Amino acid sequence: MTENRSHKVTVNRLSKNLGTEPQEEGVDIQTNNLAIEVEPERTINQGIRQLQGYKKPVYIAGVNTKAVEKALEATKGTTIGVMDNQGNIIKRSTRKR
C-alpha cells in the first residue's frame, strides 16, 4: 500500500467515525471539538506545523505503527495528542479550547 493510499484510507476512516467529511484545505479532519492531521512517518513534523494555531484539542494520527511511534517521540512535551490509524487515542491532547 502506498503512503498516499494509507493516508487517504485513514482520513476517510477517521472522518466517518467522527461523522464528518475530510477537509479540502488545512488539517485533514476538523470538527467543532478537534483537529486531526493524518501523517506517514516521514512527514510527522510537517503535520505538527500544520496543527499550529488551532484553539482546540489537536492530534497527529499515524498511518501505521512506525508513524505513531515517531509522532509520540516528536510530540513529547507538547499539547499535541497522538492517535493510531483506527482513531484510538494513544496520547491525549492537552490543548484547551
Give dist(CA 76, CA 72) in Å, integer. Answer: 6
Average pLDDT over residues 2-29: 92
The pLDDT tens digits of the residues spanning 21-57 come to 999 888 999 999 999 999 999 999 999 999 999 999 9
Q: Quick one: pLDDT at residue 1?
A: 58
pLDDT-derived band at 66 (thresholds 50, 70, 90) equals very high
Total structural domains within the chain: 1
Give dist(CA 73, CA 12) in Å, integer. Answer: 25
Q: Quick one: pLDDT at residue 2?
A: 67
Alpha-carbon torsion angle 88, 18, 77, 74, nearest 10: 70
Does residue 32 form part of some domain?
yes
Does residue 81 form part of some domain?
yes
Q: Are 49 and 39 in contact (CB under 8 A)?
A: no
Q: Residue 63 pLDDT > 90, yes or no?
A: yes
Does residue 64 form part of some domain?
yes
Q: Are 59 and 83 in contact (CB under 8 A)?
A: yes
Domain ranges, residue 15? 3-91
